[in-house]
Amino acid sequence: MTTPDHLARSDVAYQLHAYTNAERHRAEGPCIMARGSGIHVYDTEGKEYIEGMAGLWSVAVGFSEPRLAEAARRQMECLPFYHTFSHKSNVPSIELAEKLIGLTGGRMAQAFFTNSGSEANDTIVKMVWYYNNALGRPDKKKIIARQRGYHGVTIASASLTGLPGNHRSFDLPLPRILHTRCPHWYREGLPGETETAFADRLAAELEAMILAEGPETVAAFIGEPVMGAGGVIVPPETYWPKMQAVCRKYDVLVIADEVITGFGRTGRMFASDLFGIEPDFMTLSKQLTSSYQPLAAVLMNERVASVITRHSGELGTFGHGYTASGHPVAAAVALENIRIIEERGLVENAAAAGAVLQRRLRALAGHPLVGEVRGIGLIAAVELVADKASRAPFDPAGQAGARVVRQAQDNGLILRGIQDSVAFCPPLIITEAQAETLADRFERSLDEAGTAL
């Protein structure tokens, strides 16, 4: 029988980990999860944890949901794989595409399936270029993203990502990818500047960038409605309407990356509805299948879809696709996952349990280590500072966040440190009582870690 020690040694020896200091991993080794149930996961030693990050922002219906396992089993027995190339299709992919378009109220027109959010955003870059070539605008190819935004790790999507760690030593970002300011008023606002004035300034900066580059060269603007991996940044209320108005003025497509926020995370089915975004493209993944299967979707509106359709006729094909695009097992799991979200009222639960989580975290605003508490629904962050009055960060950056996250793990709570912000994103099934327990464990961990900072 394979022992936990053997597994740990094998992991260090044979597996390169994502977003991990590989050298440090050789010394520290892994925390290996063996099973999950509901909002909890259990390591190979049997220790129980509240999974306060829903895995990677993604396990909406919790771990080990039998209906998803059964949906996968049924489809595996019926049609375990088929593709969507050359006029072929399969029943689950058709039904899922129809369902997703319906969930947008018809604002989107067609869906294209990929295996991950990274691939979806990579696909959107290609579609934006294809679209403008079809319209005879070969120079209109630049895409504006945001500092601290996260859109994936393929060459194109990592270029859209505005985090230095995704660019260093990878020779990124690519040309024609630009980055404008992150909408984090706490860190980016000027002294005395209101959130409304801050949003006005960011919209003006976007317009200035478009004019400096030349509107005839700028094709699209991409953003997460609420930034995730950049620190859970909730923008000012007027931010998205103002940014969108600038884009419409210069015929710049709007891309809403809802990989984290889609399917109820913010207390609405899509965060675009919450912030008044009317996207030309929408990216979906993670909670689409609760990450039980790799799947993502690019949704596009009729304006874009009609041009792509016409141009594929002119060229003879739409020369893009993945072997697993519209994979029938992944699509079947997604359909069942969405049914569970709807039947169990998990969007509404995200609002209710989220209100408890937000209240409890905001009650920590007076803690000597806490600079800002931010979030909406069941996504939040607590930013730690060395000095509350000046908002001075810790030096070196990241040490405080890492210490609190380690202490939380010792206390049976898995969170994520984003520099010195501690992120929360529990499964949508979390109850109000469980949200209280999560907050209790975090508060204790914050106090315990604080003694060493």
Inter-helix orientation angle 91-103/328-343, to 10°? 40
Contact between residue 416 and residue 20 where contact means Cβ atoms under 8 Å apart: no
Report which secondary-structure segment, H or E, holds 306: helix 302-315
Domains of the chain: 31-61+345-450 (3.90.1150.10), 68-343 (3.40.640.10)
So what's the pLDDT on residue 437?
98
So what's the pLDDT on residue 309?
98
Query: For residues 425 and 53, what is the distance between their CA atoms, to the nearest angstrom?
Result: 4
Q: Indicate the pLDDT class of residue 451, thresholds 50, 70 and 90.
A: confident
Residue 1 in this model has a pLDDT that exceeds 70? no
Q: Is the pTM of this model over 0.85?
A: yes
Give per-residue pLDDT as tens, 266-305. 999 999 999 999 999 999 999 999 999 999 999 999 999 9
Closest CA to 413 of 382, 373, 388: 382
Averaged confidence pLDDT in the chain: 97
Give per-residue pLDDT as tens, 181-235. 999 999 999 999 999 999 999 999 999 999 999 999 999 999 999 999 999 999 9
Integer angstrom CA distances of residue 308 from 10, 132, 219, 253, 312: 47, 10, 15, 14, 6
Query: For residues 362 and 167, what is the distance between their CA atoms, to the nearest angstrom?
Result: 34
